[in-house]
Amino acid sequence: MLHRLRFIPGRLVQSIPVAIGVTIIVFFMARLLPGNPALALLGQHATKASVAALSKQLGLDQPLWQQYLIFLGRLFQGNLGTSITYQMPVTQELAQAIPVTLSLLGLALLLSLVISIPLAALAAFRPGGARDLGVRGFTLLGQGMPQFWLGIMLILLLAVGVRAFPVGGYGETAGDHFYYLFLPALTLGITMCPTIIRSLRSSMINVLESEYVGTAKSKGSYGAALFRGHVLRNAAIPTVSVIGVNLGFLVGGSLVIEKVFALPGLGSMMINAIFTRDFPTIQGVTLFVAFFVVVVGILTDVVYTILDPRVDLSSKERA
């Protein structure tokens, strides 16, 4: 097992160019804004003196590549600037918002799997059958729904109609948090389902046609035992990478969903920052999200390797 994880250091090195690329893109975003970047970072109400001071600190009179190095240097010190709206370090703001968004993502992924696995199995056991068509209809509809709209519809049904869940907010205690997170996570989870179901369904069909499922049946493994022992794990392997690739999408979606349900996570932080033109905060969230996606990519490879003993990423060249 361990020897197959030797690829991790190499994989980390490989992601350095991407990480640098991310910082370059984020750096230039500030430069694309009209006017003085220092002004953008301080907000419209900054005094002349503070703009001048920050301009000097950012080296705005220096060549662009030196400004970028200054930016990188500050980044390495964990300095993402100061939020204009809240006058506190962006890192501190992030520290408050990240747990909310990560819990939302985690719960959403969990709910998505809870919904997708049985549906995919239902569809895969008889491809082309009535259940398969039903599941296909569900995925088609799921694909066509704007996430935020689905969120509103769930609020309408489950929070306004049945009053089973709160309309929005985050609550005070950990139990509260779970209760408040459930509906947004369900929304996000459902929108993730079509992708997972499609991937799981097609890999389950492949697995069910494979000879080793025949072997398992010849050992008396039928029904649920067969599914748990020989189908799910094998079918999960390709789906893991699909989920990994799509987690970035889940992050993007969580930003919008947080807005719908008034959750104090990264999404609300970013969208509020956009309305208050709080550029350092926007920059901070963007950077964090992009790095998160890169890290998830590496984690996906690790999980993939653990699940599939045949995979040895260290020995083959990655395209």
149 binds other proteins (CB under 8 A): yes
For residues 84 and 42, is the Cβ–Cβ distance under 8 A?
Answer: yes
Answer left, alpha or beta for residue 230, where phi above 0 means left and psi between -120 and 50 means alpha: alpha
Amino acid letter, residue 246 = N
Stretch that binds other proteins, among 80-88, 98-106, 107-115, 148-156 (CB under 8 A): 148-156
Among 163, 310, 316, 318, the residue binding other proteins under the rule CB under 8 A is 310
Q: Toward other proteins, which CB reaches closer, 55 or 221?
A: 221
CB of 46 to other proteins, least distance (A): 19
Residue from 147, 177, 185, 227 in contact with other proteins (CB under 8 A): 147
Angle ∠(281,266,35) on CA atoms, nearest 5: 25
Output the CA–CA distances (angstroms, integers) from residue 213 to 77, 230, 233, in the order listed. Answer: 54, 7, 12
- How many Å apart are CA 42 and CA 141, to the nearest integer? 44
Q: How many residues bind other proteins (CB under 8 A)?
A: 78
Cβ proximity to other proteins: between 12 and 33 the closer is 33
Residue closer to other proteins by CB (options 242, 302) is 242
Tell me how long the chain is.
Answer: 319
In the bound complex, what is the minimum distance in angstroms from residue 178's beta carbon to other proteins?
Answer: 24
Which x/- pattern over 34-73 shows residues binding other proteins (rule: CB under 8 A)? x---------------------------------------
Binding to other proteins in span 287-306, by CB under 8 A: 289-291, 293-294
Asked if 179 is part of the footprint of other proteins (rule: CB under 8 A), the reply reads no
Q: CB within 8 A of 63, min separation 6: which ones? A: none
Least Å from the CB of residue 252 to other proteins? 3
92 binds other proteins (CB under 8 A): no
For residues 5, 111, 93, 42, the Cα torsion angle rounded to the nearest 10 degrees is 100
Contacts of 263 (CB under 8 A, 6+ apart): 100, 101, 104, 168, 169, 170, 180, 181, 184, 257
Which range in 5-13, 48-56, 169-177, 239-247 contacts other proteins by CB under 8 A?
Answer: 239-247
CA geometry: angle 276, 281, 285, nearest 5 deg: 125
Binding residues among 186-225 for other proteins as defined by CB under 8 A? 191, 194-195, 198-199, 202, 209-212, 214-223, 225
Contact 264, 100 (CB under 8 A): yes
Give residues with Cβ within 8 angstroms of 128, minimum separation 6.
none
**Which of the residues 116 through 145 are near other proteins (CB under 8 A)?**
140-145
Within residues 245-274, the interface with other proteins by CB under 8 A covers 245-246, 248-249, 251-253, 255-256, 259, 270-271, 274
